[in-house]
Amino acid sequence: MRANAQSDRPRRQDRRVLPDRRRNGVRRTLCFAALAIVSIAGPSTLHAGAPGPDDQDIDTPYEDEATPSEPMELRPGFPGQRDESMSDSNRTKRTQTATATPLDPAARLLEGDDASEYWTLYVELDSGHRITQRFLLSNTGPGNHNAVAIGHLIEPGRVPYRYENGRRRARWTLSDDRLDFDISASHLVLQRPTGQLRITKDDIEIRLFFDFPGDALAGRVPEDRLPKNYHVEVLAVAAATRGTILAPWMSVPLEVRGRTWLAHTWTRHNEASLIDRRVEIYGYEDGTSFYGIQVRRGKSFSRAWLIAESNTPSMVESLINVPASWVEIESTRQEDQTASYAIPRRFEFSRGPNSGRITLGNEWLRFDPLAVIPQPFRWFIRRKTKPREVWADAQIGVRLLSALESPPLPDSSATESDSNSERETEEETAERSVTGVASITFMNSSEDR
């Protein structure tokens, strides 16, 4: 039950002071006018007033690394929740085999006129609320290391509520370890073992804490799945989340629980020159967690990758670093075929015995990421990119191995029993249906690609 259902206290927006709203509106307009191009790309971050680290020191470990796709050892337990049945040695092995090196959520502090990075969070709450959030750091536009935070709170039956903050480098702060971001009233904390998302604006407050241990389900998208010089790390998949939200139409905070997905993206180049479209899939249901990503550039480049885990008693296998081949099924509706930002209706993917499909459903958010930028700056940005971001419901059907232990790897010289192996593997698989959400980011309309 929502907190404002039986309350007789005055509504929160009625208690706002009008001069403060006017002053905040002017301040926000000036901030975004100064940021200009920041809304679509994201830069690195600086601790306010402190010089940035040397570019070579901070970027060498992350450039052009070869990332082997090794299977990750899996043990029962909710993603993000400590599994007491797992020994310390096995816990360490799970963390190390997920990626070649431990994932580092810190800001990269990239140099270069087109350098950018961003952290994307999707939060699904048991109350029915959804939160989409992005923290952007960008060198594009006047100055370096500018920052923007933009998010939406979605309540069923209401129009999505947008909130944002933007600051020049000297007006926002980053901790010395580059894990705590304070962009005016938007705060992101990436300290392990508990991450935080806090929005403390006059009109909306969000205070969420999500499990963020080093051994939780996570992975680095391999380089061969992405364009050159484009990097993505999936830092959290369906991490247990708790906290409170207070929307303008609520009179008291609502206690909530749910799950959080978190991905970190960075590049030294203009993102719109590297990809045309990016699709991300977030899913969780009955112990099965899922994240998938597909990036596309025209007809010459289309790659996908996914990570999934099921902790049900009959299924304790996972898909880690899976370079799945996604076949895109376009909509047959005439209005979709002629739309400038048409979303696909279905994906089908396969990788050995593991296969599945993703069906996109009802859209619940579609917006222009540049809408917060005032004119004439918006006009200059649109000369390079005309982005759109779309969020929609998704249904995921995925086949996972259901054996209690992973089957041994076959001898590389064995060829006679291939058909038998395939049949045995098929018998050991089970299909899971997972309710999810799809995020589709277009860098340009179909006419401009």
| Joined tokens for residue 404 | 């209690």
Label residue 184 left, alpha or beta by phi (over 0 means left) and psi (-120 to 50 means alpha). left
Task: Report the range of poorest mean pLDDT among 4-8, 179-183, 240-244.
Answer: 4-8
Task: Report the range of poorest mean pLDDT among 176-190, 234-248, 350-364, 419-433.
Answer: 419-433
338 C-beta neighbours (distance < 10 Å), count = 9
Across the range 178-197, mean pLDDT stands at 98
pLDDT at 199 over 70: yes
pLDDT bin (cut points 50, 70, 90) of residue 22 is: very low
* pLDDT tens-digit readout, 411-425: 434 443 444 444 444
> CB-based contacts of 144: which residues, under 8 Å, 6+ apart?
43, 111, 169
- Single out the residue of 320, 293, 298, 296 nearest to residue 308, CA to CA: 320
- Single out the residue of 424, 413, 291, 283 nearest to residue 352, CA to CA: 424
Task: Report the range of poorest mean pLDDT among 113-117, 261-265, 442-446.
Answer: 442-446
Residue 145 pLDDT: 84
pLDDT at 100 over 70: no
Q: Which amino acid makes up residue 356?
A: G
* pLDDT tens-digit readout, 23-55: 444 444 444 443 433 444 443 333 333 333 333
Average pLDDT of the residues of the chain: 74
Percentage of residues of the chain with pLDDT beyond 90: 47
What is the pTM for the complete model shown?
0.74
> What would the DSSP string read from start to end of 233-276?
EEEEEEEEEEEEEE-TT-SS-EEEEEEEEEEEEEESS-HHHH-S
Residue 92 pLDDT: 41
pLDDT bin (cut points 50, 70, 90) of residue 297 is: very high
> CB-based contacts of 50: which residues, under 8 Å, 6+ apart?
none
Residue 392 pLDDT: 97
Residue 213 pLDDT: 95
Percentage of residues of the chain with pLDDT beyond 70: 62
| Measured distance CA(45)–CA(107) in Å, rounded | 6
Q: How many CA atoms lie within 13 A of 330 on its CB side?
A: 10
pLDDT at 118 over 90: yes
Residue 432 pLDDT: 81
pLDDT at 236 over 60: yes
Residue 56 pLDDT: 33
Domains of the chain: 12-47+104-406+418-448 (2.40.370.10)
